[in-house]
Structure 1
Amino acid sequence: MKELLIMAKSLGGGGSEVALIELINALPEEHYNVTLVLLDLDSEYAYRLKKRVNIVQLTFNSSFAKSLVSMYAFPAKVLKKLSVNYYIPYYDFIASRVTNVFEKTYDIAIDFYGYGSFVTAFLATKIQAKKKATWLHDEKLYWLKSVQKYLCKYDKVYGVSQAVVDAFCREYPHYKDKAAVFYNVIDIEEIKRKAEQDEVVPFRDVFNIVTVGRLTEQKGYDIAVKAANILKKKKIDFAWYAIGGGRDEEKLKKLVEEYHLENQFVFLGRKDNPYPYMKHCDLYVQPSRHEGYVITLVEARALCLPIVSSDIPSAREQIQDGINGYVAELSAEALADKIEYLYHNPLQRQKTVAYLKEHPIDFSKELLKLETI
């Protein structure tokens, strides 16, 4: 039995938190005794955790110290301008204010959150482990400079896609030997099971498009709205459903009103189970500006959906254009053109669906990488 410690921000937020839970769920209980250390209390996705895990929340002897490393301590507008990494020089000081005592030496310690956070610094300096690994979730690595001095403490630097690893090796070539790909592990059968659950799916008798993801600039919803406006002008009979919540919700709704798309672009909010909506759509679209490893594309592939994704490096690792999906340049015009093409060519959509059914996703090799750290 190996003692495994995993540190993360919380059990709520976005794709990286879902990926964390899926990884824990996939770990064989007879091989790993898991301790999960969290910085914040947010437990939005805790219901997805199926394994017995010892959960520990970091506590501080100073509320001020805690506020310096908590994304929830500042308004969203301030965070956008400064970023949470603004307080990085104080990480060593803040670590000395943590009241938890970790006396055990773990077999493996994982900083799953990454993103230049306090978690990376704390695990590097305060956790005793035979081997340590940190995760990179996005190909945009500007935040990594904030914790680069701690990278020498890690035995492995895992990127969730080859695109992420390539970006890391370009930026930090002296750590190239530590870098490797570790794809996010997703429970494919669970996705299929949830897709069959009874949900009231409000689709109309039109061409129904679905996008799932946080309502943030990264996910490209503003581009999707502009593409929808082009489709409307071309008399395409469609409805586009956005599933998710986020800080840009009001801004995006105003953009929809500006283009008079209230009947075509519909915000459904966050859904614990988005899979019935995905399963019944005519087309799944992912217009992200950048990603590490697009979990929603994995989910769409698992459900054998026709897919259009923005043409970013990490999406290219999953989508072979014209074979198991389609990629489009990240612009409203290119996205609208691809959607219009698939709207008028149902046989092309059927071909991609057939290919996905014949080539199921297999993540069995990923967990073996923990054994080789």
Structure 2
Amino acid sequence: MVRKRILIVNNNLSVGGVQRSLVNLINQIKDDYDITLYLFSDCGEYRKYIPPAVKVMTGPPLIMLLGLSQKQTKSLGLIYFFIRAVLVVYTKFFGNQFPLTILCSTQRRIHGFDIAISFLHNAHEKTFYGGCNEFVLKRVNAKQKITFVHCDFLNYGGNTARNREVYNHFDRIAAVSEGCRESFIKAIPELESKTYCVYNCNEFSEYKVKADINPVEYSKGGLNIVTVARLSEEKGILRAINVIKRLVDEKYNICWHIIGDGAQRSEIEKHIQMAKISENVILYGNQENPYRYIKNADIFLLPSNHEAAPMVFNEAKSLGVPIITTNTTSANEMVKDNYEGIVCGNSEEEIYNALKRVLEDSFFILRCKDYLNKQIYSNEIAVDQFFKLISEEPFKNDFS
């Protein structure tokens, strides 16, 4: 039996939820399909997890600009550093449609695939980021073209007329949760019939193995909270620092361990210093093995203003750590309230109430841990959803 040839396009394999989801999916389906991975930049910490059987393609240097930060572009030479800087400035004033068109056109048209998948959704047009959707539509010949949505489309900042128009030209849209699907359909209701739910895949056995490698032992007698997240505005870190400050002032013994880095780090550090809670909120930066920090925590906290379908929920649950999350797009779908943790209101006061509840109910964490440790975690549903996604007859594709 001839296996379907699938081309998957992404910007890079740097640390991030989309990249981790991509790697996990590839490892789940690698034996069922002939997979080629096209990366704008063949770099990133997750590159080592791509199995040898998967062919990896990269494009010409100008395409690489879409997969590198400005700092990383220096490795290509000053001319590329300068070109990217100019395109970033142009994008801020005029949008990214022209830069994306020019950069993608440097890649000769790719042929010979049954299915082409854009795995990364677009950002706002004034951001020099993305391009996978345009690349698949304009530079790849395939019988069927699919795009993934890893965001709360209504609220993530890229719900624009141009982006909505681009999605009309795909045969299938795969949202990574039912909540993400509902958000996308509210934004573009005419695409409901070809928008599917395909859950993220997880490497549950890997989480457990890595969690047992030199696991962090936290001090006893207090509440140890862990967060693994990008340090950016939508994650709601600053408002949660206010909550921790309030609880510390009320004499609760509490320590929040934050793993991750991002654009908001310096602002977060200043906020911690001003609140005088440096001993209660600790930043560890990016860690190659975040699971060793999660394993012995009492609570996993995600205080986001908006979220899609965070992979860290399943990571924490599979390690038996209860979750406190704000009620974002997929929270109730992914966290069973009162059993796997708490889904609280999306406000500073509700985060405070949730943590206060845990602090005052000495058995809550034990009940949740007992429930979580009895569950079976697998990718069966996610893989089945993917199989169904690509087994459908293709729609007419008229994008040019």
Same fold (TM over 0.5): yes
Residue 274 of structure 1 deviates from its aligned partner by 1.0
Q: Deviations over 1:19-60 (max 9, x none)?
A: 11111111142x212111111243122233345321111215
The separation in 2 between residues aligned to 1:218 and 1:197, in whole angstroms, is 31
277, 280, 283: which one aligns with 1:267: 283
- Measured at CA, do residues 101 and 80 of structure 1 come closer, stay the same or move farther in structure 2, by a change above 3 Å? closer
User: Structure 2 counterpart of 1:109, which letter?
Assistant: A
117, 129, 135: which one aligns with 1:110: 117
Map of 1:166 onto structure 2:
182
Residue range with higher mean Cα deviation, 271-280 or 346-355: 346-355
SS in 1 for 2:301: strand
Q: Deviations over 1:128-152 (max 9, x none)?
A: 2122210001113442533333334
- Measured at CA, do residues 144 and 56 of structure 1 come closer, stay the same or move farther in structure 2, by a change above 3 Å? farther
User: Structure 1 counterpart of 2:366, which letter?
Assistant: Q
Number of equivalent positions: 364
Residue 14 of structure 1 deviates from its aligned partner by 1.3
User: Please, which runs of 5 or more residues in structure 2 have no aligned partner?
Assistant: 72-83, 124-129, 391-400
Residue pairs, 1:187-198, within 5 angstroms: 187-198=203-214
- Measured at CA, do residues 81 and 209 of structure 1 come closer, stay the same or move farther in structure 2, by a change above 3 Å? farther
CA contact (8 A) 2:4 2:114 kept: yes
TM-score, L = length of structure 1: 0.90
Map of 1:212 onto structure 2:
228
Map of 1:125 onto structure 2:
138
Root-mean-square deviation over aligned CA pairs? 2.5
Residue 96 of structure 1 deviates from its aligned partner by 2.0
Map of 2:147 onto structure 1:
134
- Measured at CA, do residues 79 and 210 of structure 1 come closer, stay the same or move farther in structure 2, by a change above 3 Å? farther
The separation in 2 between residues aligned to 1:256 and 1:84, in whole angstroms, is 35
Map of 1:308 onto structure 2:
324
- Measured at CA, do residues 358 and 369 of structure 1 come closer, stay the same or move farther in structure 2, by a change above 3 Å? same
CA contact (8 A) 1:165 1:180 kept: yes
The separation in 2 between residues aligned to 1:215 and 1:338, in whole angstroms, is 22
247, 256, 262: which one aligns with 1:246: 262
User: Structure 1 counterpart of 2:145, which letter?
Assistant: K
* 4+ residue runs over 4 A deviation: 78-85
Map of 1:222 onto structure 2:
238
The separation in 2 between residues aligned to 1:239 and 1:66, in whole angstroms, is 41
The separation in 1 between residues aligned to 2:339 and 2:278, in whole angstroms, is 33
Q: State the percentage of identical aligned residues.
A: 24
User: Structure 1 counterpart of 2:12, which letter?
Assistant: S
Residue pairs, 1:268-287, within 5 angstroms: 268-287=284-303
10, 13, 20: which one aligns with 1:11: 13
The separation in 2 between residues aligned to 1:39 and 1:297, in whole angstroms, is 29
User: Please, which runs of 5 or more residues in structure 1 have no aligned partner?
Assistant: none
SS in 2 for 1:362: coil
Residue 85 of structure 1 deviates from its aligned partner by 9.2
CA contact (8 A) 1:21 1:48 kept: yes
